[in-house]
Amino acid sequence: MNVGIFGATGYAGLEVLRLSAAHPDLEVVLATGDTNAGKRVADHAPALAGLYPDLVYAKTSEASSADLDVAFLAMPHGHSQTLVPSLLDRGTQVVDLGADFRLKDSSDYEEWYGDAHKAAQLLERAVYGLVERHRHELSGARLIAVPGCYPTATSLALGPFLDRGVAADSGIVVNALSGASGAGRATSDRLHFSRLSGNAEAYGLLRHRHTIEIQEEIGAEVLFTPHLVPVSRGMLVTAYARVLDATFTTSDALAHLRTTYADDPFVVVVDEPPTLKDPVGSNLCFVSARVDPRTGWLVAMSSLDNLIKGAAGQALQAWNVATERDETTGLPLSGVTP
């Protein structure tokens, strides 16, 4: 199938390029990047030279003449809204890695992203691409909204307990650590080596945009605090919720996670707390949990690679399911050790 990757110069777009090369059913015929138009992918990202020795970046405006079966959009929020309607009208399936179609209510988008939605009529058509929680809805989907990395890690860790009703749906606290690639390729003061190295800092306090996405997905009130740590990839989430069932134990929690994800090849339930590094390089998400009978808190934990399961890998996984392919096709099931 002919594939176009929009925003293929950023970290997520480059990861879609890399993973697409390993997918037997995908042929990348278009990669856009306006500031790099005319430049070879191999020159912009030498790591991909062996996969794309001749592919040249095009301007986004040139995409109208491309014959595409599917388009992967890996652009900042606000950009997809102007492209998606015309792509769908042309019969192109759309997988959007950005935030534009994740929320169902356009007023939520305006409140949390600060702009009116330009394609609000399409929000109801978009299917949230978290396969483990929306598998049946994805079948045949023509517009897939790929979840954010923080909502993915949080929902996979905490969602099963809210779904079962053993955890309270208010007063939830989520603390998360993310590697610097989660902030994108653009530079900023806090991403300079001299500031980032040996440092850690919270950001987006109280109003991080992923908060509303997490709340919508798990149906709960959340206080979310992300932290930037000095690694290139990786994400570690620790979420706290009040236990409603006094008889619910750690053994019950782990058993419930194993039952929930028994048929999900990319979710690994572990007894010990997951580490940030173990899933790096893979499309895996590690999850675990503890119940503290002394304080009455559930501690739900997860880790993933923010650029793979948190972005590009999840996009391909959701597309596989939407097109009735084996969801593991073209995706790495193992991380990089060490």
Is-catalytic flag, 149? yes
- Cis peptide leading into 338, omega within 30 of 0? yes
Cβ burial, residue 108 (10 Å; 0-12/13-18/19+): middle
Nearest to 119 by CA among 86, 154, 158: 86
Assess contact for 165 and 188: CB atoms under 8 A.
Answer: no
Q: Count how many residues are written for the chain.
A: 338
Q: Which of the residues 5, 99, 149, 304 is marked catalytic?
A: 149
Half-sphere exposure of 325 (CA within 13 A, CB side): 18
C-alpha triplet 138, 143, 145: angle, nearest 5°: 80
Catalytic residues, by residue number, are 149
